[in-house]
């Protein structure tokens, strides 16, 4: 797909899908947004938050980055896109749930095990960003046997990383406060691209369980 296809697609959207949600768009334009869920997902083009959750306009506040990582809270005056989205979602929109959704075949997770790819000086920001996945890699390296298959290792790392991002979320004062008040709930998901299945982390069983279970 190229830019010309995107232009044609936008025209088709106006003719078809926009008409389907026309009244909802009008209400959203007049009243503003009030989503109850912050969805933190990966930039991967195969993972579409609204599509995999079958949600519509105004339902999700979506923040996407490479690896669906959450940097720990750092109160300085630098540019922090992910932190800004979290602050706005929690303090202004007052969302009730945050979902961190990892996925299968995640390039960010795989890159943690292929450091030679990051020696390209053009990837200076990518290399720094991927440091946020190292805790997951180190945990998996310590706990999985050396002869585990590459597929299984990456799958486990994707899931462990999603859980670790929840810990990082709790370093944000406004997140921690609302969680402790019972007004905000944190969720770790894992989406399988090939099957379309979503699993969530059950803190009681300490396992990922099918979402529709």
User: CATH no. for residue 48?
Assistant: 3.40.1050.10
* Region of poorest pLDDT, from 2-6, 36-40, 120-124, 175-179: 120-124
CA dist 61 and 160 (Å) reads 23
Q: Which residues contact 91 (CB under 8 A, 6 or more apart)?
A: 174
For residue 102, which of 136, 146, 129 has the smallest C-alpha distance?
136
Supply the pLDDT for residue 117: 66
Q: Do 142 and 169 reside in the same domain of the chain? A: yes
- Token pair recorded at residue 136: 């997951």
Q: Do 148 and 177 reside in the same domain of the chain? A: yes
* Residue linked to tokens 């078809």: 16
CB 170 within 8 A of CB 176: yes
| Model confidence pLDDT, tens digit, residues 2-41 | 999 999 999 999 998 899 899 999 999 999 999 999 999 9
Pairing status of strand 198-202 against strand 185-191: antiparallel
Q: Do 185 and 101 reside in the same domain of the chain? A: yes
Q: Do 22 and 87 reside in the same domain of the chain? A: no
Domain with 99, as residue range(s), is 33-210
Give the pLDDT band of residue 188 (cuts 50, 70, 90): very high
At residue 197, the 3 state secondary structure works out as: coil
Supply the pLDDT for residue 170: 98
Does pLDDT of 213 surpass 80?
A: no
């Amino acid at each position: 797909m190229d830019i010309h296809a995107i232009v044609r697609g936008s025209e088709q959207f106006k003719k078809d899908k926009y008409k389907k949600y026309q009244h909802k768009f009008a209400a959203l334009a007049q009243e503003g947004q009030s989503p109850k869920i912050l969805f933190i997902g990966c930039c991967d083009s195969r993972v579409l938050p609204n599509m995999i959750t079958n949600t519509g306009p105004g339902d999700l506040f979506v923040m996407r980055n490479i690896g669906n990582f959450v940097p720990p809270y750092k109160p300085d005056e630098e540019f922090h896109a992910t932190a800004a989205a979290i602050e706005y979602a929690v303090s202004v929109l007052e969302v009730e749930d945050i979902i961190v959704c990892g996925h299968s075949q995640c390039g960010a997770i795989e890159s943690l095990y292929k450091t030679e790819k990051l020696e390209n000086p053009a990837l200076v920001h990518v290399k720094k960003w991927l440091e946020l996945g190292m805790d997951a890699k180190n945990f998996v390296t310590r706990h999985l046997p050396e002869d585990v298959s590459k597929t299984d290792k990456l799958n486990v790392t994707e899931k462990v990383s999603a859980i670790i991002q929840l810990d990082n979320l709790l370093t944000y004062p406004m997140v921690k406060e609302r969680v402790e008040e019972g007004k905000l709930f944190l969720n770790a998901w894992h989406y399988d691209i090939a099957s379309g299945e979503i699993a969530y982390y059950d803190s009681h069983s300490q396992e990922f369980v099918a979402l529709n279970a």
